[in-house]
């Protein structure tokens, strides 16, 4: 996934920075009674966190715009927090009068905002979207945090963001269609570390899933830190390894051996807390476990209906998921209606439309603004509207032309109209080979066509998407007849 939600860091000399708050030492942070001295008992993470006042040395924030989410999939909401109202995407009310499980998903990267990542293509080898949850029927909340998307506050690099996650829980629990006893938490990379800290802070979450969390914040890129790096307590309050014994709900740490595997091993060795479950996937990197494993977790959440969580995960289950075939889900779709012809059809929500003006007929190209190497981003479609054909029968003439180009043409009916449906391959001007599907419909007063293309490297992966668009085609006159 592109780092669209990562902030651009301010570059300034430390000597020119202004201290925003005053840090105070907290007795017994992360230490036993003997280590703390004076017989002081070790504080819980929640106690230490609430008593600690971080010292920020940079006022970092962003005002990145928030894209409107697809209707009937997500609502764009604001949830109250200690610093003010913060933006979030939340699954829409299913409208069935029932209470449903929900997962709060915290994406990776240091940015505190949200963007269109939930409905962009979830690459199998780098799916940071968490979309497997809501696609499987688990309601999902994507919170932004302080300082992101014009929110009040500033980036606090794993400190105040923990408070925001707890505030997100409170908001989710208040929704009438959410079961407050079945709210889960998950995240990846920096998001996984934030989720782990939240699990150490609170027992509100039914279970927590942390992909690629670090044990000690010192292993992060220090250029991202907005706090006073000269104070040891600042690191301890942001490093999960000091607080693992405070976890009271099932918390699953998952990582590839080629990612932050050594971090996970150190945490595994640092605690005998039975609520902490660690899994290292040999040969996998920091990103590969997400695509295969999040659908498995979604299934377990949906089946987790008892009074307390009964979720268990085995190493064998994870390895089997990793060995499975990549999934190519359908994208979130939206609708386009062309008034002149009365035709309506669905297309991927993330695609953009651009009218082509240097042709005699009305032509629009649909394409993804992103260039990731996957089906949604690499496929495109041309929609054309033609007037009456002076040659007589365009379907017949196009059939002959397409067959001469090597395409296989089928005579058919689509949306009550006579049509041809052609499939084959075509070379572009650079010599690259593309899979092509061309659909031409005869309508009153003219014709409409849909021309689909995707590189042959993707095989048949785009077939379901193209067929979904074709199956969605309707006309005003046929709708009224029905």
Q: Judge whether residue 11 has pLDDT over 80.
A: no
Q: Judge whether residue 149 has pLDDT over 60.
A: yes
* DSSP-H helix ranges across 120-159: 131-136
> What is the three-state SS of 260-321?
CHHHHHHHHHHCCCCCEEEEEECCCCCCCCHHHHHHHHHHHHHHCCCCCCCCCCCHHHHHHH
- Residues 306-339 pLDDT 10s: 999 999 999 999 999 999 998 888 999 999 999 8
Reported in sequence order, the residue ranges of 195-285 that DSSP labels E, i.e. its strands, are: 208-211, 251-256, 276-281
Q: Judge whether residue 140 has pLDDT over 50.
A: yes
pLDDT value at residue 340? 86
Average pLDDT along the chain: 90
Q: Judge whether residue 1 has pLDDT over 70.
A: no
Rounded to whole angstroms, the Cα distance separating 438 from 400 reads: 13
pLDDT value at residue 392? 82
SS3 content of the chain, % helix, strand, coil (to 5): 30, 25, 45
**pLDDT band at residue 30, thresholds of 50, 70 and 90?**
low
More confident residue, 360 or 377: 377
Rounded to whole angstroms, the Cα distance separating 309 from 184 reads: 10
Q: Judge whether residue 15 has pLDDT over 50.
A: no
- State the pairing for strand pair 343-348/474-475: antiparallel
> What is the three-state SS of 384-424?
EEECCCCCCCHHHHHHHHHHHCCCEEEEEEECCEEEEEEEE
Separation in Å, CA 466 to CA 20, 333, 421: 54, 12, 12
More confident residue, 213 or 430: 213
Q: What is this structure's pTM?
A: 0.88
Q: Judge whether residue 449 has pLDDT over 70.
A: yes
Domains contained in the chain, CATH given: 60-322 (3.40.50.1820), 333-481 (3.40.1000.10)
Q: Judge whether residue 102 has pLDDT over 80.
A: yes
Percentage of the chain exceeding pLDDT 70: 90
**pLDDT band at residue 144, thresholds of 50, 70 and 90?**
very high
Separation in Å, CA 207 to CA 49, 221, 288, 467, 477: 21, 28, 22, 39, 52
> Quick one: tokens of 181?
């006893």
């Amino acid at each position: 996934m592109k780092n669209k939600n990562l902030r651009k860091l301010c570059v300034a000399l430390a000597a020119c920075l202004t201290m925003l708050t005053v840090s105070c030492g907290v007795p017994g942070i992360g230490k036993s009674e003997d280590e703390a001295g004076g017989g002081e008992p070790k504080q819980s993470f929640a106690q230490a966190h609430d008593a600690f006042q971080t010292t920020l040395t940079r006022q970092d924030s962003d005002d990145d715009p928030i894209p409107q989410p697809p209707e009937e999939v997500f609502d764009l909401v604001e949830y109250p927090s200690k610093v003010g109202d913060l933006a979030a995407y939340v699954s829409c009310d299913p409208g069935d009068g029932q209470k449903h499980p929900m997962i709060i998903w915290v994406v990776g990267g240091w940015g505190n905002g949200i963007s269109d990542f939930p409905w962009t293509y979830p690459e199998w080898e780098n799916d940071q979207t968490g979309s497997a949850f809501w696609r499987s029927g688990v309601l999902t909340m994507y919170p932004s945090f302080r300082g992101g998307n014009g929110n009040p506050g500033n980036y606090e690099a794993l400190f105040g963001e923990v408070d925001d996650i707890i505030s997100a829980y409170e908001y989710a629990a208040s929704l009438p269609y959410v079961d407050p006893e079945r709210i889960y938490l998950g995240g990846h990379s920096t998001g996984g570390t934030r989720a782990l800290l939240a699990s150490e802070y609170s027992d509100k979450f039914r279970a927590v899933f942390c992909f690629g969390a670090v044990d000690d914040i010192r292993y992060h890129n220090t250029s991202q830190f907005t706090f006073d790096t000269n104070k040891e307590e600042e690191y301890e309050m942001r490093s999960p390894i000091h607080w693992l014994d405070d976890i009271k709900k099932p918390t699953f740490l998952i990582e590839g051996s080629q990612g932050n595997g050594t971090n996970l091993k150190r945490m595994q060795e640092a605690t005998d807390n039975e609520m902490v479950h660690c899994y290292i996937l040999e040969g996998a990197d920091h990103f590969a476990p997400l695509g295969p494993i999040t659908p498995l977790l979604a299934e377990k959440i949906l089946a987790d209906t008892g009074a307390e969580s009964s979720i268990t995960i085995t190493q064998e289950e994870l390895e089997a998921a990793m060995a499975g075939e990549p999934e190519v889900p359908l994208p979130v779709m939206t609708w386009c209606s062309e008034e002149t012809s009365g035709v309506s059809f669905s297309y991927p929500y993330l695609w953009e439309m651009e009218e082509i003006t240097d042709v005699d007929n009305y032509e629009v190209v649909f394409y993804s603004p992103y260039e990731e190497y996957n089906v949604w981003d690499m496929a495109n479609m041309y929609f054309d509207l033609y007037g009456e054909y002076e040659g007589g029968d365009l379907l017949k003439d196009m059939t002959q032309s397409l067959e001469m180009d090597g395409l296989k043409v089928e005579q058919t009916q689509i949306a009550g109209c006579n049509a041809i449906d052609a499939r084959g391959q075509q070379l572009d001007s650079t010599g690259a080979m593309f899979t092509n599907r061309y659909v031409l419909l005869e309508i009153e007063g003219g014709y409409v066509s849909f021309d689909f293309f995707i590189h042959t490297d993707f095989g048949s992966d785009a077939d379901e998407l193209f067929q979904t668009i074709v199956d969605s085609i309707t006309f005003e006159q046929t709708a009224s007849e029905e």
